[in-house]
Chains A and B, each alone.
Chain A
């Protein structure tokens, strides 16, 4: 069975936020909230500066503290691609998952439930790419099955250096940043 993940080439990303805008329109994310966002990591002293731009979102971890802590079972691992999802009808908005997520990837939707990136599973199930990946003008984002060694994402991870966010949290995140 597939295990979906995302690979983002930080060499190509210009931090334009098209991924954020596309997610907003595709998923009708309410004003003031975002399911994905851009982080600028600056190191060094001018003019010897290093900047890495990261398009961040739910890491759809292999080890899921958000699912383990959910008292109602609303947070769950989906059958398709092991994508981490929230069942809005089962969610009571208790915020346990917000506290458990080391990536601050979740928010409480104004309608009262926990919300976050779904990897656009409604699109993926139709054979389309997540909205953020499909719009990216620099083509810096890749999506696919990490368990398939021939997938584009697996090939990229095999051939390039990369890192994940907070590996020390032990969550085994499935968003990878090529460097």
Chain B
């Protein structure tokens, strides 16, 4: 097959698809939620939308029975969900019924953090915000308003703020989650992993998970593909201090000492290089600096790695050879929440290099080339020209940061350098649980003239706000069109299924109304969001009516592998896969990753590790009545022998105390054989202390509260958070 330029597939002209779609007769029954709700129709209506319980955005179909929200299922047309939602998604209707929801706009009446409020009208709340914003702009410049957001719902608010002149936007998803991984892969392959990740799990013959608890982190498409791989008898290799669910599916479980992953990765590469097990043709064709890499890697024998990692040399050799045997359909998963020790970009780079040795970038069973639907943007007027630079990363302190750093904005808010930040907009992200070191976050907040929190539930950060704006939940609102890059192109729509129960409003409405009050109406020239959708869809040759009816419009399948004839392009300085990175060397970093021994816990202390449960997203679902009923508190996993030494029994409540003397809320012990003796584990997102979250209040312990210490990644500013140690307080 002739080689096809990659770029041809990145964009798809909507014309052919649109023409095909237009010929399909529209279902006369379903014409959108508004009409249905107004009539309170009898019987069952099915309204397609896409999920918002996590960030994966699975296509879904909501069922309304006699005008009441009943259940939600996956949309079979959606390539992400393939008709099956995860447990959070299935429990998503609980977000609508959550009795703890914010119901009306609130303005703070006492000092920050005291949770004393008065209910106000939307007009009063937005006037209050607009006046404060204008004052901040007058005194400090529009650049002094920053925003933190999570998810697609933030799009219109960011647009409003950009129109106002704001330039500082960040999301915890970078510096507190996937940032190091993205940068590590960008440095190696010149491209990031994306979300959803471009991992071809279903076709992998060998899957290596390093601290990635797939199955417990319920990223729907990936878990579905993982189950397919297991069914196809793929060899699973799991590296984790905890015997995760994924470990229970593994042929090889490597119970690694926490923090020593780079040593294992270097030893694996040593075996593969010295035994010449890598894909020689691929490395020769696409690799840069391979000889320097080989010379660096030759020192890291499995015998060298054994005392560091606790993994026996034989097992390191066997697993390395297994990976090589199945290449290029061997996938060393890049993980997602990758901010562990502060050397995370280099660990991710080591993972990227091991993958490169497998020759799997662009190959079936490795990393495919994602495709997405190209929808033209709405033609807005240009944003004002900023007079200042972004302030999250002054003087390029973190030279390889590819997105804004939340903790950089927090730092600038505390110090006023390089310039003052006086306003924060926080959308759908609970910064108290998302950022390490709560004390620093609160210190920054105290320097603000305005803190606006927009959310569906009264999270901890809402408790610190000046104004809280209640957003309608995803089942009651529109959001921006969804076109994630994935294995096949598609467009998805989120549309209202039911009315909000009180005075909650969608984010696009909030942004548009606030823009009106700020004299920025010309940035929102459409009357309602369907007009906006219609413009963008028409420009791509698609029909809004069709999308509203089906929820998803699928584009034609595209080649996604080198095997399909795609010639890969690597946007690195050398234009190749960088086994040896000159740009890292020039910036004063290791061109090939090196291992540095992590700090040991003091006697009587255990490393605090944290992760996910399949039924909760971050700290935002604990008050959802359905999901709360599945899991209402977290437990602290303690190795059985250690528990016995402390006289602790499963089910008993204890408190955790960290190295800085911070004491957690009481938490149940889970004495288990499924974790190493030198660490403990808990699910993130519990231990709420927002009194307004009545159901979740003081249930379980907050890992975030115990993360007072963090190591900042010098390459990109990520916050390594697995560096805290805890001991047990038996008296509760």
Contacts and interface: CB of A to CB of B under 8 A. Distances in A.
Q: Are A and B part of the same complex?
A: yes
Interface of A: 9, 11-12, 14-18, 20-22, 24-26, 31-32, 34, 42, 44-47, 49-53, 134-140
A21 B630 contact: yes
Interface in B39-74: 70-74
Contacts of B74: 135
Nearest to B63: A25
A110 to B, nearest CB: 14
B243 A47 contact: yes
A52 B71 CA distance: 30
Nearest to A50: B248
Contacts of B255: 46-47
A15 B215 contact: yes
Given A18-B90, A138-B223, A25 B70 contact: yes
Given A25-B70, A137-B224, A138-B227, A16 B218 contact: yes
B223 A44 contact: no
B91 interface: yes
A51 B672 CA distance: 12
Nearest to A24: B626
Contacts of A12: 227, 230-231
B674 A51 contact: yes
26 contacts: A14-B216, A14-B226, A14-B246, A15-B245, A16-B86, A20-B87, A20-B630, A24-B626, A24-B629, A25-B70, A31-B629, A46-B243, A46-B674, A46-B677, A49-B247, A51-B245, A53-B248, A134-B73, A134-B84, A135-B74, A135-B84, A136-B84, A137-B218, A137-B220, A139-B224, A140-B227
Contact of B676 (A16, A46, A135, A140): A46
B615 interface: yes
Interface in B583-636: 614-615, 625-627, 629-630
A45 B639 CA distance: 10
Nearest to B81: A137
B93 A49 contact: no
B673 A42 contact: yes
B231 A25 contact: no
A53 B227 CA distance: 14
B615 A17 contact: yes
Contacts of B245: 14-15, 51, 53
Nearest to B254: A47
A179 to B, nearest CB: 12
Interface residues on B, range: 35 or more
Given A12-B231, A21-B630, A52-B248, 7 more contacts: A14-B226, A18-B90, A21-B90, A25-B93, A31-B629, A49-B247, A50-B248
Majority secondary structure, B binding face: mixed
A49 B255 CA distance: 11
A72 B226 CA distance: 48
A18 B85 contact: yes
Interface string B660-699: 0000000000001111110000000000000000000000
B321 interface: no
B249 interface: yes
Nearest to B639: A46
Given A25-B70, A135-B84, A137-B86, A16 B215 contact: yes
Contacts of A32: 629
**Which of A21, A25, A134 lies at the interface centre, i.e. has the most chain B CB atoms within 10 A of its CB?**
A21
Contact of B243 (A17, A26, A51, A135): A51
Interface string B228-255: 0011000000000001011111000101
A12 to B, nearest CB: 4
Contacts of A31: 625, 629
Contacts of A137: 84-86, 218, 220, 223-224, 227
A32 B630 CA distance: 9
Contacts of B214: 14
A46 B673 contact: yes
Given A14-B216, A42-B673, A50-B248, A26 B223 contact: no
A14 B224 CA distance: 10
Contact of A25 (B90, B227, B248, B673): B90
Contacts of B72: 25
**Which of B73, B85, B87, B231 lies at the interface centre, i.e. has the most chain A CB atoms within 10 A of its CB?**
B87
B615 A16 contact: yes
Nearest to B215: A14
Closest 3 CB pairs of A and B: A14-B215, A138-B227, A16-B614
Interface in B244-290: 245-249, 253, 255
Interface string B636-669: 0001100000000000000000000000000000
Given A11-B231, A31-B625, A137-B224, A18 B71 contact: no
A134 B673 CA distance: 33
